[in-house]
Structure 1
Amino acid sequence: MDCGSLVYVEPANPKAEAALPAEVQAEWWQPFENYLAHERRYSAYTVRNYRQAFEDFYRWLVLAGVWERGFDALQMRELRDFVIEAQRRFGRRTLHNHVSGLRSFFKFWLRRGKVQRNPFLGVPLPKLEKRLPKFLTEEQMVRLLAGPQQLLASESIDAFTAHRDRLVLELLYGAGLRVSELTGLNYGAIDLEAGVARIVGKGRKERLCPIGRVAVAVLRKFRDEFAPATAPDAPVIVTQRGTRMSPREVQLMLKRYLALAELPMDLTPHKLRHSYATHLLNAGADLRLVQELLGHAQLATTQVYTHVSVARLKEIYAKAHPRA
């Protein structure tokens, strides 16, 4: 084994190299995928990301000439080389996510006795930049939420689309839903009298979400006047064909209203969730309550919004106080 750095050579056609050999998939990937999907109940999106991480690592092992030696023969230096080479292909956050997925992969096989250790434990990673989540101000949210009615008034869209789009925006912001939670929402999960929805979030964890007085009113109107079906298993957010709206369709829909409100076009549906959390904390909501409303497993995930609130307070102080 050459003790020098292992060099990853980018395949001429990465997509052609992406598929795992059938024997590798059957022996190493498929049992882990079943565990993620059925025992951990991870979303299809997360399972897909874990697979991409494993496929990339497998390609590197093959092209670096170390696959045949087996996982237990991997050395720390080799894994450092992998991380260094991966930085050419991925951003730092993606790299962190990939290594996290690979740690989970080896943890799974270590428990089942197929490997002797988790080689990614202790592997150094580049530091992540501390980025505060982007969010809209309350005034910007008002402009965004007014978009569907403006287009309806100008006859740029029909009534169905206007009310459906208003409902999408109200639920993303008024209930702090992830876009996948929104598009997966059925009528049977909503109690309009109580004003709450039963949301199935990451890891198939359920939580109760208040959806807000305004969102309830918009939902009632859309249901009564435009919904093609309202059975318990019928989707709330639908296309004009009556089919469940996809996350991608929601993302594209949002772009229209961002442009209309003259807001940054790189804002995503998730940024409305950021706005929801930030506005709650700015108004004095308890951090643990916001954690529960967002469905975060760890309080640390929610605490990033306190930094946003503090930054906003400092900005207001700097503008308003004579001694600032």
Structure 2
Amino acid sequence: MSSPLQSAIDEFLRYLKVERQLSPLTQSNYARQLAALVIIADEMKISAWTQLEPTQVRTMAARSRRTGLSASSLALRLSALRSFLDWQVSQGMLCANPAKGIATPRKTRHLPKNIDVDEVNQLLEIDFDDPLSVRDRAMLEVMYGGGLRLSELVNLDCRHIDMASGEVWVMGKGSKERRVPIGRTAVTWLEHWLPLRVSFGCEDDALFLSTRGHRISARNVQKRFAQWGIRQGVASHIHPHKLRHSFATHLLESSGDLRAVQELLGHANLATTQIYTHLDFQHLASVYDAAHPRAKRGKKT
């Protein structure tokens, strides 16, 4: 029989699945972090969430940190707890959220890595005409052309494509739909792929299929992209997220329009997109350091 602590979590997870319709990965992350907190709460002799106070939340965070949890994982755990307790407040189970004022540890910020335009062109010069190569070229072109997430790419259906306008409908995070232009080259390769698609024995409307006729899996896409990176002689490791980062970086460098890039990426918060301005500044700083007379290092006057 589940404990009172776990029973409330089970209700919350049902809410995330049915009402919020969050992705399975997000639901899994919440479930994992909250399960870990139940274990800590049991060790602290906390038998009901109504007993929880800010000092105990800090103790939970400290105990989590002592187990070797990284700053980013601890931030995720506290975020899950805050969301869960906010939900309890909305349901009348709690009067206030005791985790509300607890500071989240500062995460180390890793700038996204991208590949330059020449490397992208090198990667995309796939001129083989066998069906798998055509499919992979179409996937690469659509992902880079539209800056799609991996989940958005694999979940595309044929009905989501508007070939005339060169746009696709994608379902982003939080079940938010957006219309994304993918460019003429991507449309051209989709035109090559669609007649070949029927030879895969398609069972549904999925745009990109595995050799068995099923919707291609995210793992398969990752594997194929990495193989093409090696095959095309690209120096850096190729994975789907790197193409999305490259799309954003190249677009921002050319346009300088941060709001447009935010819309195209499907970011709910502009702060998420602003990381690409740091990338751009990093490039400018390196040029300055290499070229400006006053930036020369190690020279004595």
Q: How do residues 111-190 of structure 1 correspond to structure 2 at under 5 angstroms?
A: 111-146=90-125, 148-149=126-127, 152=128, 159-190=130-161
- TM-score normalised by length of structure 1: 0.83
Q: Which residue of 2 aligns with 1:224?
A: 195
Offset of 1:316 from its aligned partner? 2.8
1:138 & 1:247 partners in 2: Cα distance?
Answer: 24
Matching of residue 237 in structure 1 with residue 204 in structure 2 = no
The answer (yes or no) to whether the contact 2:145–2:247 under 8 Å persists in 1 is yes
Separation in 1 of the partners of 2:288 and 2:184?
32
Compute the displacement of 1:96 (Å).
1.1
Check whether the contact 1:187–1:230 (CA below 8 A) recurs between aligned residues: no
Distance 2:194 2:272 in 1: 35
TM-score, normalising length: structure 2: 0.89
Post-superposition Cα deviations, 1:275-310, rounded to whole Å, max 9, x if no partner, equal 110000000241111111011111111111111112
Residue in structure 2 matched with residue 34 of structure 1 by the alignment? 14
Aligned to 1:269: 240
2:74 match: 95
Contact in 2 for aligned 1:43/1:203 (Cα 8 Å): yes
Deviation at 1:75, TM superposition (A): 3.2
Q: Which is worse superposed, 181-190 or 109-118? A: 109-118
Equivalent runs, 1:281-296 vs 2, <5 Å: 281-296=252-267
> Helix, strand or coil: the match of 1:226?
helix
Could you list the per-position Cα deviations for residues 111-168 of structure 1 after superposition, in whole angstroms to 9, with x for gaps in the alignment?
Answer: 111123212112233211122111111122122223x44xx4xxxxx81211111112
**Range with greater deviation from structure 2 (36-45 or 21-30):** 21-30
Instruction: For residue 75 of structure 2, give the secondary structure of its aligned residue in structure 1.
Output: helix
1:211 lines up with 2:189 in the alignment: no
* Equivalent residues of 1:235, 1:244 under 8 A apart: yes
Paired with 1:76 and 1:136, the residues of 2 have a C-alpha distance of 45
Give RMSD over aligned pairs: 2.4
Q: Is the 8 A contact 1:207 1:295 kept in 2?
A: yes
| Cα separation, 2, equivalents of 1:101 and 1:305 | 27
Give the stretch that moved more between structures: 280-289 or 71-80.
Answer: 71-80
1:61 paired residue number: 41
Asked whether the equivalents of residues 160 and 240 of structure 1 are also in contact (C-alpha less than 8 Å), the reply is: no
What is the aligned-residue identity percentage?
Answer: 36
The Cα shift of 1:229 comes to 7.7
Distance 1:316 1:98, change over 3 A: same
Which residue identity is paired with 1:288? R
User: Does residue 1:80 correspond to 2:58, yes or no?
Assistant: yes
Between the aligned partners of 1:246 and 1:94, the Cα distance in structure 2 is 26
CA distance in 2, matches of 1:206, 1:89: 38
| 1:180-233: CA deviation from partner (whole Å, max 9, x where unpaired) | 0000000101100100001111111111100111111011100023344899x6
